[in-house]
Every structure is written in structure tokens, then in C-alpha cells.
Amino acid sequence: MARSDSSKDSSTDSSKKVAKAAKAGATPAASAGREQRSLGFPLAMAGIVVLGTALVAFAWGARDVEALSPSFGDHWHLPYGLYDCRDEAFLPNLEDPGRPNSGIHSHGDGVIHLHPASSTATGNNAQLERFFEAVDAQFDGDDAVTFANRPALTEEGATCNGEPAILHVARFEPGATEPVEVITEDLENFRFRDDQEGVVIALVPEGAEIPPPPAAAIETASAASPSILRTDGLQNLPGTLQDQGISGFDDDGVLVDAEGNPILDADGNEITQASIQAEAEAQAESGGDPDADDAEADDEADADAEADGE
């Protein structure tokens, strides 16, 4: 009986050793599994945080481009000039080639017309480079502006009053005669910031005075249509006028025919919303009625004629 008990105890001890060994052998693997599970969650969370941060940064970047002015629906008019100190004068206005553009262009009137047609002309993208693309001009580095049909405005060999002349871009607040910003580097990325501000590309010595845009350009810009662009197309006029070939006002407030050509008055000037409104306001202030005035003038003429006949 004692032998049997001894055999039973030995068997029990062996089983315990095997179980212990098995447990010992399994511990590293189990620990590794638990460690992997414990590390997996924070790593996954870290990945989500990184991805989320990137998406937020992208969204804010896109938001900034759209939120900054100018944006879709804006319609700005900025007087500009190209000044050459060697002639102490502004160069002629740049012409409009008449092809599609980003919405930053000109009509040969000394004014930068800015009403974004795409995101390439909104916010931080509303740059001088876009305007030059529309009028067949471009910067050659920061040293020259080249044009399609005229000599370049270049620093090469240029001097004024014995000093080397360099290219500048100056920003003028509306109505100001002194620039609020002048740069000489990264000129093509100069950004338009406000309606009616003036922009001058000037070839002058460093530190020299830069004049504001030409008075004619400032006057044209200030008389242009409001800064909010109509998005419903032309403002149609009564049918009787349409029958006469008058279509309505274009985006710049100019009266045009069915083909978009400006309609001129008797003096050869464009008819604009601003001029019509100014005339109406002047008549309202004076209490005048043009038809009544004409009738009164006719009556006076008839009276004078009768007096002469007597």
C-alpha cells in the first residue's frame, strides 16, 4: 500500500512540474500578446490623431483661401500704373487681348478689374502674376517686366539721376499719395487686398519717391460699378429697348448691345450705370424735368420768334 502511495505522489509531482513548465513556457507568449494588445490601441489612436490633424490643417488652408478677400461674388476695381523714372512718366495702359482669364484683367483703361472666375483668383491667389497673364505681360525674375508688343521695363542699364534703377511694386490705399507698402522681391506674388487700392509697378532708384497711379485711372476705378458683382447676368431692360438692340448692363456696369459691345452716347462715351445714376440724382436735386425743360425752351423760342415778327 505504501508503494502505491509513493507512486501516486510521484505522479502528482510530475504532473505539477509539467503544468508548471507549460505555464512557464506560455508566459512569454501570453505577455507578448497582452503587450501587443496594450500597444495597439494607443498606436491606433495616435494614427487617428495624426490623420485628423492633417485633415483639419488642410480644411483650414482651404478655408483661408476662400475666406480671404477677394472671393467669389466680389467685383473690385484697382487703378494701376507702370512708371519709368527715365521718362518721369507712366507707360501706356496695358490692353486686353480678349481671351478667357482668371477673372483678374483689364479693359485697357488703367484699371485692374477683379471678379474671380475660379479659385486661382481668390484670396492669396489674387496676385499680380494673374493680372499679367491676362494682359500678355510677365516678370522676368524681379529684374524686368516683359510685354508682347512693347519694350521691356528692365533694370538692365537703367539709371535715374545717376543712380541704378530697380523694379518696385507699391500699394496705395484709396485716395492716398504715399504708398503703404513697397516691395522689391517676389514681385509676381504681390497680392491684391482691397477694392479701389492703387498699384504701381515702378522702375526707380532705391528709396526714390513713387507716385500714385495716374489720375485718369483713379477716376475710372472710382466711377466703376459697385464692388459686389451681380451673378444673375445682365440686368435686362424693357423690351422696346431690346428691340432697338440694347441688351443691358454688363458686369462693369456699361450699357451694351446684344453682342456685348458698349453703346456710346452722342459724344462717343460709354453709357454706364454710374453716369445714369449721377444724372438722375442731379436732376432730382435740382427738381428738373428734362422733357419739361425742353418744352419750356421751345415755348421761349416761339415767343422770341413771334416778338421778332412783330
Low-confidence ranges of the chain (pLDDT < 70): 1-67, 225-248, 251, 257-260, 265-266, 277, 279-281, 283-310
pLDDT for position 199: 98
Within 10 angstroms of residue 115's Cβ, the number of other Cβ atoms is 24
The reported pLDDT for the residue numbered 299 is 59
Omega prior to 70 cis, within 30 of 0: yes
Burial of 163 (0-12, 13-18, 19+ CB in 10 A): middle
pLDDT for 254 equals 78
Is this structure's pTM higher than 0.85? no
pLDDT score for 272? 79
Judge contact between 23 and 15, C-beta under 8 A: no
Give the per-residue pLDDT at 194. 95
| Cα Rg of the chain, angstroms | 38
43 touches 35 (CB < 8 A): no
Beta strands in the chain (DSSP E): 76-84, 89-90, 104-105, 111-114, 137-140, 144-147, 153-154, 159-160, 163-172, 181-183, 198-205, 235-236, 246-249, 255-257
pLDDT in tens, 51-87: 444 444 444 444 444 458 899 889 999 999 999 999 9
Looking at residue 296, its pLDDT comes to 52
Alpha carbon distance 246, 234 (integer Å): 11
pLDDT of residue 58: 42
